[in-house]
Amino acid sequence: MEKFQRGKGNGLTDLITSFWQTYNTLIYTIFVHGMLALSIYITLACGQLSLGNAAFMGIGAYTSALLTMKMNAPFGLSLIAGGMMPAAVALIIGIPTLRLSGVYLAMATLGFGEVVRVAFLNMSITGGSLGLNGVPLKTELWHLVLVIGIFIYFFIRLRDSRFGRILEAINEDEVVASVMGIKTTYFKVWAFTIGAFIAGVAGGLNAHFTFFISPREYGFEPAVDILTFAILGGTRTLWGPLAGSTVLTTLPELFRFLGPYRLAVNGLILLLVVLYLPNGIVSKETFKNIKKIFNGSGCLN
Amino acid sequence: MLKLENIAKDFGGLRVLNGVSFEISEGQIFGLIGPNGAGKTTVFNIISGLLKPSSGRIIFNKSDITNQPPHVVTEQGISRTFQNIRVFEDMSLLENILVGMHRLFSYSSVSMFFDLPKKKKEEKQLREKAMDILSIVHLTEKADLKAGGLSYGEQRKLELARALATEPKLLLIDEPAAGMNPAETEELMNEIKLINKNGYTICLIEHDMKVIMGICGYVAVMNFGEIIAEGSPEEIRKEKLVIEAYLGKDEKSA
Ligand SMILES: Nc1ncnc2c1ncn2[C@@H]1O[C@H](COP(=O)(O)OP(=O)(O)OP(=O)(O)O)[C@@H](O)[C@H]1O
Ligand SMILES: [Mg+2]
């Protein structure tokens, strides 16, 4: 009798343990992708389409991994350095490129990403195409929760502040913003730099649980993925990109039984969202539709 | 206060402004009139730094502001509204004003991040000030509504208030009465007069002659990119060139 009850308890803990063992990487990845989604959100919030965040993530990942591996730096310090390094790079490349707008900025930042990837491939300190093997496993769940919590808190504070309003003004009408006396390039560079910092920290956290990093993780494809998080989720509030990244990271797991076709599901969902919710999952339309459905007239539009 | 010296502007070979010179003195309500396409808005775009003149100089309070970027011109004390209304539609009226007031905020990013008392106090004070500015154009009741939901006339007034929020010395207003009904226009005229009385110099582009004759102390007339006449409203009304510019030459008497 006693044995049986203990057995039951163990059964539950076993279940949790086995769930955690199967899905911990997925859960970690959801957090990292959430941070990446926030990193592009801040540039989109001032109307800038920057595709450099995968490269910034890479710079952060290599910086922090090398610091812990080669110099035995404390984890916290290497994470901060992993954010500062891409932020410094962003500051330097942001000043000339953020005078560009729209698709030209997107192209310039994509080109920058390619330069960074090739640099990772060819430098000896980054381990070339083999990448870095044996990055110490230091990232724990509470680190991720704490860090994303700080970033979310920052964005909430931003909303009713001078800086937040300036970014919104630039987003709505850059010409008018400049006529209001706003140094638009200055604030765009700041948004870009903060985005690079967030992406770099995400890269550092990611490197310290995947054990292994290589240049291909920071190329064109992840750059587009990050943008997709934001577009799918919607960019009106910070919750949009977070929702987008969570959905797009979880779905391939749920549709694992579809085998190689599971990535097509992501594509399909993206297509449906763009068609029916052009402002993303977290948008006014969605709330209106949900209300309508509860009021009994469940039609879109 | 503001002096334009021989301003010319070419758009790819097409001369849109030619030798435009005039001077606005402090405290004036200066009217800039002329038929469609005369170049009035282009003059505003050049003064505010959105366009660079092909030649000529702009002097504002003794400093040369020719070729300065827009934010510097605004810092020097010139603000403007747009002919094709450009409010921040997704922001509330109050936020529109707060954007205009952005230079008055002095709290640091640390204060922002930790929501320190300094930030809270400053936000509160400046929001009150923003409400005062909205009250000049009688829009306080709608302070928390989205600007995109206002009527045309209200949006024009909001733009006027937002321009005031940058604390200018000179206010450039481009066709404020366009799309307003007579009652709104009447109210607008009173508001502009009040703003002027409070120490702001005003340069006004307007097609509605009632507005020009009613509130301007001095008027310059443009046609085909040139100033063809200037003087008091009464003088302008009698000027033959002006009548021709507006009504076309009377061919029988010519
Ligand atoms: N960016 C531009 N490129 C080319 N031509 C332009 C540009 N901006 C204005 N123009 C031309 O310059 C001329 C003057 O335009 P402007 O807008 O200054 O006239 P306006 O006096 O304000 O007229 P309205 O009363 O209709 O507002 C017009 O012929 C217009 O087509
Ligand atoms: Mg015009």
- CATH at A112: 1.10.3470
Q: What is the pLDDT of residue A24?
A: 87
Concatenated DSSP letters of B62-116? TEE-TT--HHHHHHHTEEE--SS----TTSBHHHHHHHHTGGG----HHHHHHT-
> Above 90 in pLDDT, residue B43?
yes
**Per CB distance under 8 Å, which residues of A are interface residues toward B?**
154, 157-158, 160-163, 165-166, 168-169, 172-173, 175-184
Q: Band of the pLDDT at B196, cuts 50, 70, 90?
A: very high
Nearest CA to ligand 1 atom 30: B37
Residue A177 lies inside a defined structural domain of this protein? yes
Q: Tell me the C-alpha distance between B239 and B254, whole Å.
A: 16
Q: What is the pLDDT of residues B98-112, one digit of tens each?
A: 999 999 999 998 899
Q: Band of the pLDDT at B50, cuts 50, 70, 90?
A: very high
Give the side-chain half-sphere CA count within 13 A for A69: 21
Q: What is the pLDDT of residue B248?
A: 67
Q: Give the one of B79, B89, B102 whose C-beta lies nearest to A172's C-beta.
A: B89
Q: What is the mean pLDDT of residues A272-280?
A: 83
Residue A285 lies inside a defined structural domain of this protein? yes
Percent of chain B with pLDDT over 90: 88
Q: What is the pLDDT of residue B97?
A: 98
The secondary structure element, H or E, covering residue A150 is: helix A141-159
> Above 80 in pLDDT, residue B254?
no
Distance B225 CA to ligand 2 centre (A): 12
Concatenated DSSP letters of B200-244? -EEEEE-S-HHHHHHH-SEEEEEETTEEEEEE-HHHHHH-HHHHH
Ligand number, closest to the Cα atom of B38: 1
Amino acid at A164: G
Report CB contact under 8 Å: B86, A183: no
Distance B83 CA to ligand 1 centre (A): 11
Distance B43 CA to ligand 1 centre (A): 9
Q: Band of the pLDDT at B247, cuts 50, 70, 90?
A: low
> Above 60 in pLDDT, residue A2?
no
User: Can you tell me the ipTM of this complex?
Assistant: 0.93
Q: What is the pLDDT of residue A138?
A: 92
Ligand number, closest to the Cα atom of B222: 1
In total, chain A counts a number of residues equal to: 301
Q: Give the one of B70, B80, B91 whose C-beta lies nearest to A168's C-beta.
A: B91
| B42 Cβ below 6 A of ligand 1 | yes
Residue A15 lies inside a defined structural domain of this protein? no
Q: What is the pLDDT of residues B146-195, one digit of tens each?
A: 999 999 999 999 999 999 999 999 999 999 999 899 999 999 999 999 99
Q: Band of the pLDDT at B30, cuts 50, 70, 90?
A: very high
Q: Tell me the C-alpha distance between A166 and A146, whole Å.
A: 28
Tokens of A80: 């901060």
| B225 Cβ below 6 A of ligand 1 | no
Cβ of residue B103 closer than 8 Å to a chain A Cβ: yes
Mean of the per-residue pLDDT values of chain A = 89
> Above 70 in pLDDT, residue B39?
yes
Q: Band of the pLDDT at A8, cuts 50, 70, 90?
A: low
Residue A98 lies inside a defined structural domain of this protein? yes
Q: Give the one of A169, A175, A184 whose C-beta lies nearest to B99's C-beta.
A: A169
> Above 80 in pLDDT, residue B249?
no
Q: Tell me the C-alpha distance between B154 and B56, whole Å.
A: 36
Task: Confirm if B230 and B203 have CB atoms less than 8 A apart.
Answer: no
Q: What is the mean pLDDT of residues A127-135?
A: 90
Q: What is the pLDDT of residue A10?
A: 73
Percent of chain A with pLDDT over 70: 94
The secondary structure element, H or E, covering residue B9 is: strand B2-11
> Above 70 in pLDDT, residue A6?
no
- Work out the minimum CA distance from A181 to partner chain B, whole angstroms: 4
| B36 Cβ below 6 A of ligand 1 | yes
Mutate-to-test residue for ligand 1 from B40, B52, B203, highest number of ligand atoms within 8 A of CB: B40
| B11 Cβ below 6 A of ligand 1 | yes
| B153 Cβ below 6 A of ligand 1 | no
Distance B206 CA to ligand 2 centre (A): 9
pLDDT top residue among A253 and B18: B18
- Work out the minimum CA distance from A99 to partner chain B, whole angstroms: 13
pLDDT top residue among A207 and A8: A207
Q: What is the pLDDT of residue A258?
A: 80
Residue A241 lies inside a defined structural domain of this protein? yes
- Structural domain of residue A118, as residue ranges? 23-300
Report CB contact under 8 Å: A183, B71: yes
Q: What is the pLDDT of residues A147-178, one digit of tens each?
A: 999 999 999 999 889 999 999 999 999 999 99
Q: What is the mean pLDDT of residues A76-98?
A: 95
3-state secondary structure of B60: strand
Report CB contact under 8 Å: B71, A176: no
> Above 60 in pLDDT, residue A65?
yes
Counting the structural domains of chain A, the total is 1
Question: Order of strands, edge to edge, in the sheet holding B63-64?
Answer: B14-24, B2-11, B55-60, B63-64
- Work out the minimum CA distance from A165 to partner chain B, whole angstroms: 6
Percent of chain A with pLDDT over 90: 63
Q: Tell me the C-alpha distance between A171 and B154, whole Å.
A: 22
Q: What is the pLDDT of residue A17?
A: 85
Residue A6 lies inside a defined structural domain of this protein? no
Residue A16 lies inside a defined structural domain of this protein? no
Residue A5 lies inside a defined structural domain of this protein? no
Q: What is the pTM of this model?
A: 0.90
> Above 60 in pLDDT, residue B19?
yes
